[in-house]
Structure 1
Amino acid sequence: MGLGQLALELILGFFSLLLFTRLIGKTQITQLTAFDFISALIMGELLGNAIYDDDTGVVEILFAISVWGLLIFAIQLVGQKSITLRKLLEGEPSLVIQKGVLNRQALKKNRMNINELQSLLRDKDVFSVREVEYGVLEANGSLTILRKPEFDAPTLKDLNITGSPKSLPMLLVSDGIILNQDLVKIGKDESWLKTELEKQGYFEINNIFCAEWREEDGLFVIEKDQIINDC
């Protein structure tokens, strides 16, 4: 196989897999179930074998990825209609802590010991089982918890405090470049931005690493010389 042919197959394979992962949705990436994990492994294996097989060309690579991708889509569609199949492929949540008590049967069913459970709890900033009212082991292996009232952080509503509305921050300058599309979103222009920056003592856009705007707080600026370059 020539280097040109190999490069072409790598490029086509890369963009085919990228397109596939975009099509299956963001939840499939962030919430990887056992079925999704196996699918990803096989897709990578198909592509790897096809690329380094001299008898396999571009058409065969695209065909293999397309067939496997269509098969996954078909199973997902059927899973949306059939709860039984969905549970079989993706699994279902398990209640491992119920009313503050460990469910040993659920732990045993999921082949989880107390040390693994404690590790998942620490990921939620919980260092003792006694703080948890309910704990649900999700199908993707993550743990969702509901703290007991005495260990839960109070909300503004609990404290009878009226909170002020908040807006999403917008990045207006990134690495010395003004992001005009974000300026338009907040109804501003470059002239306004430069004026606001000058009010804070920033006169050179090129020296700004990032500038973030939020309606209730105004501009927050970080200069390039404020960044710690630790290599």
Structure 2
Amino acid sequence: MSGYFSMFFEMVIGFVALFLVTKILGKTQISQITPFDFIAALLLGELVGNALFDQNAGIIDILFVITIYAVIMYTSEIISQKYKHTRHMLEGFPSIVIYNGKLIRDTMKKNKLDINQLQHLLRTKDTFSIQEVEFAVLEANGTLSILKKSDYQMPTRKDLKLSATEVDLSTTLINDGEVIMDNLKEKNLSIEWLSEQIKKEGYERIEDVFYAEYIKDKPLFLLPYLNRNHQKWDAD
């Protein structure tokens, strides 16, 4: 039993340490996984796993492994920022796979990208035909960026000669039946105002509302726990 407790404790410590490392390295290191990051992550997982199941390894060993990983990743980031010529080696570089509507077969072959994989990546961009694409760039992290042909691009307000309108971010005021007071204060709103708005929509209590979203000069968007008849949502 003591072995399980020790493993549990070491796992918690390892998780907390990894969480702190990701916070230090920044969000872009998580969202933009390069080949270097992928290899480093596999290596870290192997080392941490061995440390957890090795009876001779303790918390100090796990923290040492994670610290070395953090130092390597942080150092590589500093190097790539300071010396631009190292970015291609550490981070990779984007490759054009469609140019002026034509497939660049050599680039696809170099990046081990076949037609089926390209079509899958295009569908993730809501594009279901290669004919719609003028340019496509395979990014270093494996995602695809595309520029559609003019005939398939959505018109903007500028294209339609419409006047510009103010854009506001939505703010969550209620989440899972609980009021987010910080967001209320940020928008200079009161709990009394929120209760009044909820009652206007036919709900007696804040607890009846699962989710509430606020956008300036627009009606409050509500998703209830119960419907108007205060019956449970039907699973069917």
Q: TM-score, normalised by structure 2?
A: 0.92
Partners of 1:77 and 1:144 in 2: how far apart? 26
Partners of 1:85 and 1:159 in 2: how far apart? 45
Which amino acid is 2:217 matched to?
A: E
Deviations 1:6-65 (A, max 9, x none): 222111111111111222211121121111111111111111110110111111111121
What is aligned with 2:140?
139
Partners of 1:3 and 1:143 in 2: how far apart? 44
What is aligned with 1:33?
34
Q: 1:190 to 1:48 in 2, by over 3 A?
A: same
What is aligned with 1:105?
106
What is aligned with 1:24?
25
Deviations 1:144-194 (A, max 9, x none): 011111111111110111242121111111222111111101101111111
Partners of 1:12 and 1:184 in 2: how far apart? 36
CA apart distance, 1:134: 0.8
CA apart distance, 1:229: 7.2
Give the ranges of 4+ consecutive aligned residues of structure 1 lying more than 6 Å apart after TM superposition. Answer: none
CA apart distance, 1:215: 0.7
> SS where residue 210 of structure 2 aligns?
strand
What is aligned with 1:114?
115
Q: TM-score, normalised by structure 1?
A: 0.94
What is aligned with 1:218?
219
Deviations 1:56-85 (A, max 9, x none): 111111112111211221122111122222
Q: Is the 8 A contact 1:166 1:216 kept in 2?
A: no
Deviations 1:181-226 (A, max 9, x none): 1110110111111112122222111111111111121211111025
> SS where residue 161 of structure 2 aligns?
coil
The answer for unaligned runs of 5 or more in structure 1 is none
Partners of 1:107 and 1:42 in 2: how far apart? 28
State yes or no: 1:165 paired with 2:172.
Answer: no
Which amino acid is 1:168 matched to?
A: L
Which amino acid is 1:223 matched to?
A: P
What is aligned with 2:63?
62
Partners of 1:230 and 1:202 in 2: how far apart? 21
Q: 1:40 to 1:124 in 2, by over 3 A?
A: same
Partners of 1:204 and 1:86 in 2: how far apart? 56
Partners of 2:234 and 2:215 in 1: how far apart? 27
Cα RMSD, aligned residues only: 1.7
Which amino acid is 2:219 matched to?
A: G
Deviations 1:89-109 (A, max 9, x none): 211000111111111111111
Q: 1:124 to 1:43 in 2, by over 3 A?
A: same
Q: 1:230 to 1:25 in 2, by over 3 A?
A: farther
Partners of 1:207 and 1:56 in 2: how far apart? 51
The answer for unaligned runs of 5 or more in structure 2 is none
Deviations 1:105-151 (A, max 9, x none): 11111111122111111111112222111110100111101111111
Partners of 2:62 and 2:235 in 1: how far apart? 42
> SS where residue 222 of structure 1 aligns?
strand
After TM superposition, the structure 1 = structure 2 runs for residues 67-78 of structure 1, keeping only pairs within 5 Å, are 67-78=68-79
What is aligned with 2:204?
203
Partners of 1:183 and 1:89 in 2: how far apart? 44
